[in-house]
Amino acid sequence: MALNNDNLLESTEEIIFYLDLSTDFLKKKRLISGLGIFIEENEKSEKTSLYGLVLFKRDKELFTIYNQKPEIIFETIKEIWDEREKDFNYFENGLYEILAYVFQKSRKFRKTYRIIIISDSPSDLSEEYNTALYDLILKAKNFYTYIDIIRVGDQKFYKDDVKLKVITSETFGGTLYCRDEKHLKRYLSSIVRSREEYSYDSSYKEKISPKDYAFFERLATDLISLTSLDYKTCFFCKEFICEICNDPLDELHKCFNCNTSFHTCCIAQYSVENNIGIPYIFRCPKCEALLKLDKSLIQSINKEENSINAPEPLKEYTESLSNQLREEEVQKPVEIHAEGKKSKETIIRIGGYFGPQIKINTNKTSDNEINSQADINPSNIKPEKSEKISITSLNPPKSRCIIKFCPICGTNVKDAPICPYCGSKLE
């Protein structure tokens, strides 16, 4: 069961409480009181925050509500507290659900996500689950996501202590241990104070490995063609004809979310300077939806710029794109033949605590399949359907011939090897 209210105004911050509680160590009254103190202190700041709640009910039924006011969270906890799962622990599964939600919502706008997990038991899922979760957490860092974990219980050590600390340290959070339920308020209050002292730098970009480019490409959306009702001037140059190339063929395209229009040259230049860590993927300067350009368009622009002393950042982007193409050639599925059957296995290599590498059979489904709003497979995170028309059929801007500049006289030359004015040879 999942509840959501899309009519609420989007906030600049969403705080999601994940209650991974399968014992009776923490009482409902203590929990609600602690969350009340947290929300009260958090509301003193000038940020506009809304809240979410995730927990498992009996028979592995996942319950989620997002983007809600505090009173809805409290009412929901009171209603379903006695229905929560008490026989099993699904720590990783709940985090999968929350991260899928973060990725899905981040397609249309950007805001800070704070995930606060209150857990009372370690999980017993396999190393493959931990590795996949760690991989998603590294991607979530690019969407302003913090994770804090409070482990409640009277034990001094837990077998998953290292795992919890790795998860929180990767997302600039903390792992706390509450051995007395009376002290839960104190720990939740400390999380509020720690967030006031530290926040993401909006100009900071996490380094993205080329092997993860495909994940972000699937989240981002192409620019689309204008309609007869659209305002036909560029957001940047305010003109119908692009001021960079003065080419009437540089037609305008728009953001799918807010209909803001851009020339190809203008938005390509913006993407080079304001991307998310991948040269051709950026956020709309008007609504911050996640958008993308044809990667070859950025490559062709960089090649032309390099011929007239391009700045160093452009050369780095060109090298990054070339490396990505080589990575894509190397990382092909490995076919395994066994007993007359053909299956595909992909090798995933992850550093750190969660192991060096694993093999994933892409033709096999797990018995512990996750019941989430969006499947963990990033290819299943699809745009919200508002129209039946395909965005990719609306002619997104593609790579095209770029105007060259004569190094001798500075004349604009298109589709010619020699300058028609001074006779200089063009590279």
Query: Is 423 a member of any domain?
Result: no
Same-domain status, 160 and 74: yes
Are 125 and 268 contained in the same domain? no
- Give residue 340's Cα distance to chain centre: 40
Is residue 172 in a domain? yes
pLDDT of residue 193: 80
Note down the domain range covering 38: 2-197
25 and 169 within one domain: yes
Q: Is residue 205 part of a domain?
A: no
Q: What contacts 414, CB < 8 A, 6 or more positions away? A: 401, 403, 404
User: What pLDDT, on a 0 to 100 scale, did the predictor assign at position 298?
Assistant: 83
Query: Is the domain of 51 the same as that of 183?
Result: yes
For residue 113, which phi and psi values (nearest 5 degrees)? Answer: -115, 125
pLDDT, residue 415, reads 59
Is residue 387 situated within a structural domain? no
Verify that 13 and 96 share a domain, yes or no: yes
Element (H, E) at 195: helix 184-197
What per-residue confidence (pLDDT) applies to 371? 43
Query: 222 and 140 in one domain?
Result: no
Burial per residue of 301-318, b for 16 or more beta-carbon CB atoms within 10 angstroms, e otherwise: bbebbeeeebeeebeebb
pTM: 0.70
- Whether 228 and 348 share a structural domain: no
Residues 12 and 141 in one domain: yes
Q: Which alpha helices (DSSP H) does 43-126 contain, by range?
A: 70-80, 91-105
Please state, in angstroms and rounded to a whole number, the distance separating the CA atoms of residues 192 and 13.
13
Q: Enter the tokens of residue 103.
A: 């990725």
Q: Based on the structure, what is the number of domains in the chain?
A: 3
- Residue-level pLDDT at 123: 84
Asked if residue 388 belongs to a domain, the reply is no
User: Considering the domain boundaries, does residue 391 fall inside one?
Assistant: no
Q: Does 49 share its domain with 113?
A: yes
pLDDT tens for each residue of the chain, 427 residues long: 444 444 445 678 999 999 999 999 999 999 999 999 999 999 887 678 999 999 999 988 999 999 999 999 999 999 999 999 998 889 999 999 999 999 999 999 889 999 999 999 998 788 888 889 999 999 998 898 999 999 999 998 999 999 999 999 999 899 999 999 999 999 999 998 876 655 544 445 667 888 999 999 999 999 999 998 888 899 999 999 998 888 888 889 999 999 999 999 999 999 988 999 999 999 999 999 999 999 888 876 665 555 444 445 445 555 555 555 555 544 444 444 444 444 455 554 444 444 445 554 545 444 444 344 444 444 454 444 444 444 445 677 766 555 566 666 656 666 566 776 666 767 6
Return d(Cα 335, Cα 316) in angstroms, integer.
Answer: 35
> Residue 419: exposed, middle, or buried by beta-carbon count in 10 A (0-12, 13-18, 19+)?
buried
**Is residue 425 in a domain?**
no
Domain contains 401: yes
Residue 403 pLDDT: 56
User: How is residue 10 written in tokens?
Assistant: 């989007």
Q: Do 303 and 327 fall within a single domain?
A: yes
Cβ within 8 Å of residue 163, ≥6 positions away: 130, 353, 354
Query: If we measure between CA atoms, which residue out of 272, 270, 269 comes closest to residue 320?
Result: 272
Tell me, yes or no, whether 279 and 131 share the same domain. no
pLDDT of residue 334: 45
pLDDT at 418: 72
Domain endpoint, select from 154, 170, 197: 197
Question: In 3-state terms, what secondary structure has residue 172?
Answer: coil
**CATH number for the domain including 128?**
3.40.50.410
User: In a 10 Å sphere around its CB, with 0-12 CB exposed, 13-18 middle and 19+ buried, how is residue 390 labelled?
Assistant: exposed
Same domain membership, residue 107 and residue 224: no
Picking from 137, 167, 197, the residue at the C-terminal end of a domain is 197
